[in-house]
Structure 1
Amino acid sequence: MRLGDICSKIGSGATPRGGKEAYSTSGIPIIRSQNVLDWSFSSNGLAYLNDEQAKTLSNVEVHQGDILLNITGDSVARACIVPSDVIPARVNQHVAILRPKEKANATFILAWLQTNKDLLLKLASSGATRNALTKRMLEGLDINLPSIDIQNHIAELISLIQSKINLNIKLNGYLLEYLKTYAKTLYCEYENDKNAILPRNWRWAEIAEIAGMVCRGIAPKYSDVSDEVVLGQTCVRSNLILVENGRTHAPRKKTEKWLKKYDLLINSTGVGSLGRTAQVWFEPKKLVADSHITIVRTADPRYALYLGFWAFKHEKHIESLHTGSTGQTELPRDYVKTMRLVLPDDKTLNRFNKIAVPMVELIVANQRENKRLEEIRDRLLPKLMSGEIDVSKIDLMQLNSHLAEY
């Protein structure tokens, strides 16, 4: 059976006239490829259209239960189901809507797409220029569709695992936002009014005054036979480090550039990436950053978390410090060193750290748990989709209870 036979709609949208500059800060969401992750949706960077713009894209309005599939660029073949809280929405030309018919379960179709991602990537790379999946390619995909009962059972099992993953992602988002807001309450008043008198023993300081090291990462030599991982700019997203996006490279002699816990990473090259920040909240092993990332390491570790959450709230400012023309922008190391921030006294700083340390440890624990859950899901999927595992014999209530304790 072809995918086109079981979907009532397969199609992508467009960017409104005026490009990115035409987007609004509120209104009807327009979903772009950066919002579509594998299995999950990210609201980070979600853009909006006014009513008139949305009307011109009414033919690509997203409905409840639609599957979103990235069809161009480096993120091609990433797919998720649209969350209900962004509906009504539109998609741009880099995202396709797949709308299953009544006898096809959306989560099952999503699982099929994920299981056959290698096929999608191969199709996407068959073009003459950039990676792309066309409507014709998608419509012609052969899919083995079991009965709706089996589809529903597989979908329910996968949804149990995915809901736990999504819950951890949401919890991490809440924890991050709380700590960013808490840090902001310490410095916001004084940044907004440079003439405000600082409390006793508080002070203004340049990053250079509290940093033991500010430098770019290494120029890697990639290798598939190494266990040393180098992080690129795609590993710095939503103020978290995505080690799974890193690549292995030929081992080098250990230097001070090997990452340490609480190092602040700042994307420093290119429009769209420059200015994004994240911090190492775990004990890294054989982990480095590439030369497109600036590493900031505080001399006194007590300042590290405060500096990190300050940076998270100042990404726009960091981005504005770039030099160079569009497409070749760079963040000079000296500009990072001269950024100024308000430093609280020791008592206030210790109080912040007492709250922040256990919270970031919980964030890391949730990330690790999600990694294990994803491995379970990805091992199960091929066996479920092929029928090797009889899904009707799986006790979903028992599995749900186990995941609740996981």
Structure 2
Amino acid sequence: MSCDPNWHEVPLYDVCESIMDCVNKTAPSVDYATPYKMIRTTNVRDGWVSLDQVKFVDKETYDKWIRRQKPQKGDVILTREAPLGEVGMLRSDERVFLGQRLVSYRANPEKLDNRFLLYAFQGYHLQTQIKALGSGSTVEHMRVPDAKKLRISLPTLSTQRQIASILSAYDDLIENNTRRIEILEEMARRLYEEWFIYFRFPGHEGMSFKESELGKIPEGWEVRRLDEVVTLNPKTKVLKEGEKWFVPMGALSESGMAVGPLEKKTGNSGAKFQNGDTLVARITPCLENGKTGFVDFLPEEQATACGSTEFIVMRSVRLCPEMTYLLARSDRFRDVAIKSMSGATGRQRVRVESLIELPVVQPDDATLNAFQNFVAPCFKQIRKLSKKNTNLRAQRDLLLPKLVSGETDVSDITMPDRKEVEAA
């Protein structure tokens, strides 16, 4: 807590219009998309509420679950359990409602800036209280009454807004880069589909087609087994001594190719890989959620790395690295992988041998080279933007605890320069 006399500590219920918990039961979901989305604890991470991987409900269920309060843009959402203490803000007007183990805080704008509240929840003062209130022998959780008793250290409203504006500037840059990454990856995936699933590549109109087990494919192309065009779990030597990069399961994204954050570890256990390889999560529910990554982060002085034992490593032999990654992201590959899973319920794994005979189209060299020339720059730009986001997060995370505690005077901090970030 700040020693500045302009800061004071108050209970959150004194500066919030409402503090509302979820309906204490699970809403019945439907297996098709609707406008009505349920936020779960898995959707709340690192200051954001992601509306990817949500569950959908019908309008009747939605109306029942918002009868106490309808969530709105700007509400701050806190997880009470699994995990405890994650926080995010609703940043859109989509029709959502709280799933179990979530609490919503709606700031009183005359007393509390909602963005400052978001960042304060990520600071030491509130996180310490949350952890202290957590209980449970197996799963840490916080009771709803305790969620309403949390106390926040506040400066004047104008200072709150200044602090929130600085930290939000970093988040805005990160969000902008993230959108650009999503667009670039979507472009690459669409190009893969057009060229190698629908065979609508440049010049296809003048080509002859022939029958194959995948239907009609262009003359000069072949259908091969997966193990003829890709090596699965190739043997890879790593440094025997010292620390090396390690990729945990959590470093793989459900929606994109970027891998991180990484760890440093000693030892040589787990999957081994090098730049240009694709990593596929082989265990449930990670596979179903789409966890797949593209390795392009290793420096020349450390050409290989290790990762989770639950990765399948795919290395291009007759394709190109980018096409191998996009193949692993394709619906057909994932359907075959999921159907091959075996083991105890909840911990099923892909049987790698079941993937070996998956038929894969092998384009002629000219088409493959043309495809790589299109998509490789997209992959490089994604990596560049991902690195910028890593740096921006590090800068924001360094500033956040100092600003929300009053340790650093906000007048001493300048806003991040967008032009400098873009040039970095």
TM-score scaled to structure 1, two decimals?
Answer: 0.86
Report the CA distance between 1:383 and its aligned residue: 2.1
TM-fit CA distance, 1:126 = 3.4
Is the counterpart of residue 167 in structure 1 residue 176 in structure 2? yes
Match status 1:146 vs 2:165 = no
Higher helix share: 1
Deviations, residues 276-334 of structure 1 (Å, cap 9, x unaligned): 3222133364631221111111234x422112112212234432321234213110110
Structure 2 equivalent of residue 251 of structure 1: 267
- The 8 Å contact of residues 161 and 403 in structure 1, kept in 2 or not, is answered as no
Looking at CA atoms only, which structure, 1 or 2, has the larger radius of gyration? 2
> What letter corresponds to residue 21 of structure 2 in structure 1?
G
Q: How does 1:7-406 map to 2 (within 5 A)?
A: 7=16, 8-13=18-23, 16-18=26-28, 22-58=30-66, 59-73=68-82, 75-85=83-93, 87-102=94-109, 103-116=111-124, 118-119=127-128, 122-123=131-132, 126-189=135-198, 194=213, 196-214=215-233, 227-237=243-253, 238-244=255-261, 246-252=262-268, 257-274=271-288, 276-283=291-298, 285=302, 287-300=305-318, 302-314=319-331, 315-396=334-415, 399=417, 402-403=420-421, 405-406=423-424
Q: 2:11 maps to which residue?
A: 2
Alpha-carbon displacement from aligned partner over 1:207-260 (angstroms, at most 9, x marks no partner): 111123436999xxxxxxx7334323222222334422x54433239x9x5321
8 Å contact kept, 1:215–1:295: yes
Partner Cα separation in structure 2 for residue 228 and residue 269 of structure 1:
24
The separation in 2 between residues aligned to 1:138 and 1:91, in whole angstroms, is 15
Partner of 1:222 in structure 2?
none
Contact 1:200 1:345 in 2 (8 A): no
Letter in 2 for 1:232: P
Give CA deviations for 1:144-167 in whole Å, capped at 9, x if unaligned.
Answer: 111110101111111111100111
Q: Is the 8 A contact 2:181 2:385 kept in 1?
A: yes
Contact 2:75 2:104 in 1 (8 A): yes
Question: How far apart are the structure 2 equivalents of 1:323 and 1:64?
Answer: 42
Q: Residue 99 of structure 1 aligns to which amino acid in structure 2?
A: R
**Could you say which residue in structure 2 is the equivalent of 1:223?**
none
Deviation at 1:185, TM superposition (A): 1.0
Change (3 A) 1:63 1:261: same
Taking every aligned residue pair, what percent have the same amino acid on both sides? Answer: 21
Q: Is the 8 A contact 2:27 2:99 kept in 1?
A: no
Closer/same/farther in 2, CA of residues 236 and 14 from structure 1, 3 Å limit: farther
Deviations 1:340-365 (A, max 9, x none): 22222211111111111111111111
**Residues 375-396 of structure 1: per-residue CA shift (max 9 Å, x gap):** 1111112221232332235454
The gaps in structure 2 that reach 5 residues or longer are 1-9, 200-211
Let me know the Cα RMSD of the aligned residues.
2.9
- Equivalent position amino acid for 1:44 in 2: D
Evaluate the alpha carbon distance shift between residue 395 and residue 308 of structure 1 in structure 2; reply closer, same or farther with a 3 A threshold.
Answer: closer
**Residue range with higher mean Cα deviation, 57-66 or 114-123:** 114-123
Give the match's secondary structure for 1:362: helix
> In structure 1, what is the Cα distance between the partners aligned to 2:235 and 2:58?
41
Deviation at 1:336, TM superposition (A): 2.5
Contact 2:230/2:324 (<8 A) preserved:
no
Q: Distance in 2 between matches of 1:168 and 1:199?
A: 38
Cα deviation for residue 368 of structure 1 reads 0.8
Aligned AA for 2:20? I
> Counterpart amino acid of 2:73?
Q
Shifted more, 364-373 versus 269-278: the winner is 269-278
User: Higher mean Cα deviation, 87-96 or 8-17?
Assistant: 8-17
In structure 2, what residue type is equivalent to 1:267? A
Output the CA distance in 2 between the equivalents of 1:13 and 1:217: 51
CA gap of 1:405–1:229, structure 2 versus 1, over 3 A, is: closer
1:282 match: secondary structure: coil
How many residues end up aligned between the 2 structures? Answer: 389
Q: Which shifted more, 235-244 or 142-151?
A: 235-244
Q: Report which stretch shifted further, 359-368 or 339-348.
A: 339-348
Q: Name which of structure 1's ranges 167-176 and 331-340 shifts more when overlaid on structure 2.
A: 331-340
Which amino acid in structure 2 is aligned with residue 310 of structure 1?
A: L
On the 8 A contact 1:23/1:48 being kept in 2, the answer is yes
> Aligned with 2:320: secondary structure?
helix
Aligned partner letter, 1:38: D
Is the CA contact 1:72–1:131 (under 8 Å) kept in the aligned structure 2?
yes
Higher mean C-alpha deviation, range 355-364 or range 126-135:
126-135
Q: Give the Cα separation in 1 of the matches to 2:192 and 2:133.
A: 44
The 1-side partners of 2:232 and 2:336 are apart by: 21
